[in-house]
Amino acid sequence: MKIALIEACREADAGSIGAWYVTEHAKKAGYPVDIIRRNKSGYDIELVSVHHCDDFERLAVMPKYAKWRLVGGHVMQNNPRPAIPFADAICVGEGETWIKKALKLLDETDDIASLQELPGTIVSKNWQAGMEIPEANAENPLPDNMPYLNRPGTRSVAWYVEIARGCPYRCKFCELGNSMPFRTYSMEQVKKCLDFADTKITRKINFYAPDEASHPHYHELFDYLFSKGYSASFSSMRIESVLKRGLPKIKKNHLVRVGIDGLTEETRRRVGKPITNDQIIEYFKLMLEAGQVQFKMFFIFGYPWEKVSDFKEFEQLMKRLKFLHLTKNVSLRIKWTPFIPQPCTPLADVGSQYDFEMVDKINIWHALHARPHSEPGWFIENDGMMGK
């Protein structure tokens, strides 16, 4: 069988680590896969990875050339229904084990209906409105995946090494923490994966996980990584994790990303992320003392219980932050995202509100605090609103 994989996504989002894992496991089972950006004739099976909800439109207009189209991707584990008319079969959940079994069945039976016996599967011709979505596949134990080379041939090239799936915190707004169980790779598995990374290509390593600092051996893994001569950055480290365990031995001048996700302590408590303003200040104090000077904060606004007056608590928090002792100028970007209820989360069925008065307050605050009155000081940028 000739098989191709196409990612239904923007060009900037192409090169998904999950899609690559699936193709590698297909190859291990004896089914080579061509990765192409535009589907074309000449293949028996199209594997289509849909990354985000707004990529369903790309799937809908994608012409089908192969006999069968198998659709997967992260969004399928929460709501695969929009994909059903444009697929012959859908993998709900993680796909490394599924793809090997699905391709073997198609090879042996030449019948798409044979996939119905697989867990986490929708066969479109058997689907009827109102049927229950099958339980999502969750790999257990985690598959033996190799390091993934991201952005080869560019200055951003890096090896990605997966260390965990799911998130132990299960914030009420977040699908990642509520759609999949938390599982970690053992320290020995991660070390083995690191040893496979070809340092002739790049020595840069990124650990990959929804919340990488939740790995029980996170600090030890960083120590091993540096002992092998790799360089490393990190995606984000939750305030709770840093205050509980301290910082790993990371180099200075990384972009430190941190999710705050609520304007007030009360909101953060209600959404299952009960970090206090004092903890936020202590986190930044530790980071500054460690020499970090580049930060990006993530805020969610527009919860149904939120009031415009809640913005005062944010202003007071930022006032305290700007009073911290500095030895260098600090860059802070703030990303503002309106609350959008996500399927499979405890807040899936609550309303949201987009208050233009709150938006005005955010924009005015940024205009007044973009540059410091003296240096060293805080250079603060509005990194976007409406999730754009």
Asked whether residue 292 falls in the same domain as residue 361, the answer is yes
pTM: 0.89
Question: What does the mean pLDDT of the chain come to?
Answer: 94
Q: What is the pLDDT of residues 45-73, one digit of tens each?
A: 999 999 999 999 999 999 999 999 999 99
pLDDT at 233 > cutoff 80: no
Q: What is the pLDDT of residues 290-319, one digit of tens each?
A: 999 999 999 999 999 999 999 999 999 999
**262 neighbors 272 (Cβ within 8 angstroms):** no
Q: Which of 165, 168, 163, 166 is nearest to 222 (CA)?
A: 163
- 275-293 b/e with 16+ CB inside 10 Å = b? bebebbeebbeebbeeebb
- Give the confidence band of 367 by pLDDT, cuts at 50, 70, 90: very high
pLDDT at 39 > cutoff 50: yes
Tokens of 325: 């002792």
Domain annotation covers residue 335:
yes
Output the domain CATH number for residue 118.
3.40.50.280
76, 95, 126 - which closes a domain: 126
Q: How far is the C-alpha of 137 from the C-alpha of 114, rounded, in Å?
A: 18
Domain annotation covers residue 137:
no
Domain annotation covers residue 219:
yes
Respond yes or no on whether the N-terminal peptide bond of residue 216 is cis (omega within 30° of 0).
no
Q: Which of 247, 220, 230 is nearest to 163 (CA)?
A: 220
Q: Would you state the pLDDT for residue 386?
A: 62
- The percent of residues above 90 in pLDDT, for the chain, comes to 85
- Edge-to-edge strand ranges of the sheet holding 378-382: 255-259, 294-301, 330-338, 378-382
Domain that holds residue 296: 252-388
Asked whether residue 266 falls in the same domain as residue 238, the answer is no
Q: Which long-range contacts (CB under 8 A, 24 or more apart) does 101-106 make?
A: 102/70, 103/1, 103/3, 103/26, 103/29, 103/31, 103/45, 104/29, 106/1, 106/45, 106/68
Domain annotation covers residue 236:
yes
Q: What is the pLDDT of residues 5-14, one digit of tens each?
A: 999 999 989 9
193, 219, 246 - which closes a domain: 246
231, 246, 261 - which closes a domain: 246
pLDDT at 249 > cutoff 90: no
pLDDT at 223 > cutoff 60: yes
Q: How far is the C-alpha of 182 from the C-alpha of 188, rounded, in Å?
A: 18
Residue 307 or residue 175, greater confidence: 307
pLDDT at 170 > cutoff 50: yes
**Which phi and psi (to 5°) does residue 59 adopt?**
-65, -40
- Give the confidence band of 82 by pLDDT, cuts at 50, 70, 90: very high
Domain annotation covers residue 114:
yes
- The percent of residues above 70 in pLDDT, for the chain, comes to 99
Asked whether residue 259 falls in the same domain as residue 234, the answer is no
Q: Would you state the pLDDT for residue 388?
A: 41
Asked whether residue 213 falls in the same domain as residue 268, the answer is no
Asked whether residue 112 falls in the same domain as residue 228, the answer is no
Asked whether residue 63 falls in the same domain as residue 193, the answer is no
Asked whether residue 260 falls in the same domain as residue 350, the answer is yes
* Count of the separate structural domains present in the chain: 3
Asked whether residue 119 falls in the same domain as residue 161, the answer is no
Q: Which of 260, 173, 188, 251 is nearest to 221 (CA)?
A: 188
Asked whether residue 379 falls in the same domain as residue 352, the answer is yes
Q: How far is the C-alpha of 38 from the C-alpha of 242, rounded, in Å?
A: 43
Lowest-pLDDT choice from 27-36, 217-226, 265-274: 217-226
Q: How far is the C-alpha of 89 from the C-alpha of 106, rounded, in Å?
A: 11
Q: Which amino acid is at 252?
A: K
Mean pLDDT across 268-282: 98
Q: Given the structure tokens 């985690």, which residue do they identify?
A: 142
Q: Would you state the pLDDT for residue 23?
A: 98
Asked whether residue 213 falls in the same domain as residue 97, the answer is no
β-pair partners for 204: 231
Q: How far is residue 247 from each of residues 137, 203, 220, 250, measured CA to CA in Å? A: 34, 21, 11, 8
Domain annotation covers residue 337:
yes
Domain annotation covers residue 195:
yes
Q: What is the pLDDT of residues 342-359, one digit of tens each?
A: 888 999 999 899 999 999
Domain annotation covers residue 51:
yes
Output the domain CATH number for residue 184.
3.30.750.210
Q: What is the CA radius of gyration of the chain?
A: 23
Q: Which amino acid is at 243?
A: L
Output the domain CATH number for residue 271.
3.30.750.200
Q: Beta strands 183-184 and 204-208: pairing type?
A: unpaired
Q: Would you state the pLDDT for residue 387?
A: 45
Asked whether residue 275 falls in the same domain as residue 364, the answer is yes
Asked whether residue 306 falls in the same domain as residue 367, the answer is yes
